[in-house]
Amino acid sequence: MSAPTSRSVLGVAVIGVGTMGADHARRLRDVVSGARVTAVVDTEAERAKEFADGLDGCTAYTEPAAAMAARDVDAVLIASPGPAHEEAVLGALARDLPVLCEKPLTPDPVSALRVVEAELRLGHRRVQVGFMRRYDPEYARLRRLLDTGDLGRPLMLHHRHRNAAQPPWFTGDMLITDSVAHEVDVTRWLLDEEVTAVTVLRPRPSALAPEGLDDPQFVLLETESGALADVEIFGHCGFGYQVQAEVVGERGAARVGDEPGPRVSTAGRWGGRITPDYLERFADAYDRELQAWVDAARTGRTTGPTTWDGYAATAVCDAGVRSRREGRRVAVDLADRPALYR
């Protein structure tokens, strides 16, 4: 590994300027210190140009490789659709560029493992995967509480993940691969162990869900030590965005994700507000995630969720998709964890 070099300002290429990429570019411009967007990439040339024109010193590209070759690009943020991630990450690794890749690392465990193997050949970490809940202050406090041992051994972990609605092209599989993927990573991170098996149950679908979409779903995760985690994933709850988690230990329980204040009492009623979407609910987590990535990349380091974390989550979700389709418990097929990620 070459010696780390310090950069006063990190030039970032943002690949994919849809909802997530555009939000990250805004964050890099307005919130995060030590970086600026020097390139944007999108398959739609006009959209890329229009976006780049709104950022000082930014160039538009339609090919990730061209952006990565630019002299003013020091790092890569990948927010394109999942099927395009592998090629972009491998291209960045070939140039030894720091990467923040939105989840999923890739859409399937075979391609995700290829990315792991490419980083192993490089000999050092360069990829951080975008599991932003690890940077949410509530989840971070829950992890620290578990580390103290005050709750005893964790026995169960209950997750609730509700969206007001999903895009019309959302599928039953995507409820696992694009939504439950976060609970998979949080479970692995909080309990510090791998998920070994998945069972997906399908209650009767909500009338609010599009025809043919099995929504909600109930996902049971088994871990190495025998702890269990369950996930209620509800893509069309209709009333807002809720993400909650409760750890039940031998000597106590702890919960995060309750609605923030203020709770108002007036005119014979009491209540509060439910956040409408993930961009608002996890705004602080995204800020912290990007700042941590930039701070590390400027000094030649990589922190946060690893390529292995991205691969492991994809492998668990793959088992979940098979369980959903086949109606049975499915064991997770996971490769041996390399020393680089221990």
pLDDT in tens, 52-106: 999 999 999 999 999 999 999 999 999 999 999 999 999 999 999 999 999 999 9
Q: Which single residue is written with the structure tokens 């309750």? A: 258
Domain residue ranges in the chain: 10-133+284-306, 134-281+314-341
User: How does DSSP assign 109-134, residue by residue?
Assistant: HHHHHHHHHHHHHHTS--EEEE-GGG
d(CA 78, CA 157): 31
Q: What are 67's two structure tokens? A: 């952006």
**Average pLDDT value for the chain:** 96
User: How does DSSP assign 277-290, residue by residue?
Assistant: SHHHHTHHHHHHHH
- The pLDDT of residue 4 is above 70: no
Average of per-residue pLDDT across 215-219? 98
What kind of fold does domain 10-133+284-306 have according to CATH? Rossmann fold (3.40.50)
pLDDT in tens, 37-59: 999 999 999 999 999 999 999 99
CATH number of 134-281+314-341: 3.30.360.10
What per-residue confidence (pLDDT) applies to 2? 39
Residue type, 283: A
Average of per-residue pLDDT across 307-319? 98
pLDDT over 90 percentage in the chain = 94
pLDDT in tens, 245-280: 999 999 999 999 998 878 899 899 999 999 999 999
- The pLDDT of residue 1 is above 70: no
Sheet containing 242-249: which strands, arranged edge to edge?
253-256, 242-249, 154-162, 228-234, 217-223, 195-201, 330-331
What per-residue confidence (pLDDT) applies to 6? 62
